[in-house]
């Protein structure tokens, strides 16, 4: 039985989508069957972060409405075992039936080791769609105070809905700025009320990989790519140290 993970953020600009893509690609590179679902309706970008922008992909709503099958999900051209269901471009998120989405996830758990959902930023309808049936959630944030506050709000919203397996990833960390802010890992965990799953540095390779149409792990071995690899292993329960800067 596979595990469903929703990658969320309290606000935009946290690098949530690239984080979701990076973790998924690392899991697939180590032999796991992985399904990515872009749940950011109307603002889909997960295909770009995965290096699949040129691949024809069906929307998850085509599967939930019976027009396509789960087996029609697009497979990554360079990472066997990594699949994508994209988000619809114009579908109103309020019209997506949550129970049908839940049925899709139940089917996906039977076919994949990991199902990663890229949720829309914020805590609106799409947020609830992406998290309602998730087994666990990763809250992405940057080190700035506003992002950490919004991450705490997102975590509180999830806790009120009964979610217990919540973890924090601090993304786009700039070591010098981090030091000048006098911010520690313990501070960030205290401010969000979440255990830390990983730290990811600010890395130009993220943008360069997307521009080249490649998954990050296929275009870089250090920086953010290494951090995502460590996070993917920690997610699987392996004793892996945090990224050091």
Q: Is residue 54 part of a domain?
A: yes
The burial of 203, by beta-carbon neighbours within 10 Å (0-12 exposed, 13-18 middle, 19 or more buried), is given as buried
pLDDT value for 93: 52
pLDDT value for 152: 93
Q: Is residue 45 part of a domain?
A: yes
- CATH number (domain holding residue 186): 3.40.50.300
The burial of 32, by beta-carbon neighbours within 10 Å (0-12 exposed, 13-18 middle, 19 or more buried), is given as middle
Domain of residue 221, residue span: 3-235
For residue 170, give the 3-state DSSP assignment: strand
Q: Is residue 163 part of a domain?
A: yes
Per the listing, tokens 């080249």 go with: 212
pLDDT digit string (tens) for the chain, length 245 residues: 899 999 999 878 899 999 999 999 999 999 999 999 999 887 889 999 999 998 889 999 999 999 999 999 999 999 999 999 999 887 555 457 788 999 999 999 999 999 999 998 877 777 788 888 899 999 999 998 899 999 999 999 888 888 888 999 999 998 777 667 767 778 888 888 899 999 999 999 999 999 999 999 999 889 999 999 999 999 999 988 887 76
pLDDT value for 96: 72
The total number of structural domains that make up the chain: 1
Q: Is residue 65 part of a domain?
A: yes
Chain centroid to CA 82: how far? Answer: 14
What is the β-pairing status of strands 166-173 and 34-38?
A: unpaired
Structure tokens at 75: 């497979």
Q: Is residue 158 part of a domain?
A: yes
Q: Is residue 245 part of a domain?
A: no
pLDDT value for 91: 59
pLDDT value for 85: 97
Q: Is residue 205 part of a domain?
A: yes
Q: Is residue 43 part of a domain?
A: yes
């Amino acid at each position: 039985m596979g595990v469903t993970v929703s990658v969320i953020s309290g606000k935009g600009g946290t690098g949530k989508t690239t984080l979701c893509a990076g973790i998924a690609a690392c899991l697939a590179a180590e032999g796991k069957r992985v399904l990515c679902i872009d749940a950011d309706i109307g603002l889909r970008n997960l295909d770009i972060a995965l290096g699949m922008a040129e691949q024809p992909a069906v929307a998850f709503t085509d599967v939930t409405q019976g027009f396509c099958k789960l087996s029609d999900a697009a497979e990554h051209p360079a990472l066997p075992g990594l699949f994508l269901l994209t988000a619809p471009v114009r579908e109103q998120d309020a019209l997506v039936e949550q129970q049908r989405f839940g049925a899709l996830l139940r089917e996906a758990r039977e076919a994949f080791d990991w199902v990663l959902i890229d949720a829309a930023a914020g805590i609106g309808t799409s947020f609830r769609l992406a998290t309602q049936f998730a087994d666990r959630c990763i809250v992405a944030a940057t080190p700035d105070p506003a992002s950490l506050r919004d991450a705490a709000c997102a975590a509180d919203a999830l806790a009120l809905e009964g979610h217990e397996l919540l973890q924090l990833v601090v993304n786009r960390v700039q070591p010098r700025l981090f030091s000048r802010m006098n911010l520690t890992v313990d501070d960030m965990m205290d401010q969000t009320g979440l255990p830390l799953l990983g730290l990811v540095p600010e890395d130009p390779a993220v943008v360069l990989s997307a521009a080249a149409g490649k998954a990050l792990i296929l275009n870089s071995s250090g920086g953010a790519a290494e951090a995502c690899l460590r996070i993917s292993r920690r997610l699987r329960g392996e004793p892996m140290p945090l990224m050091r800067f």
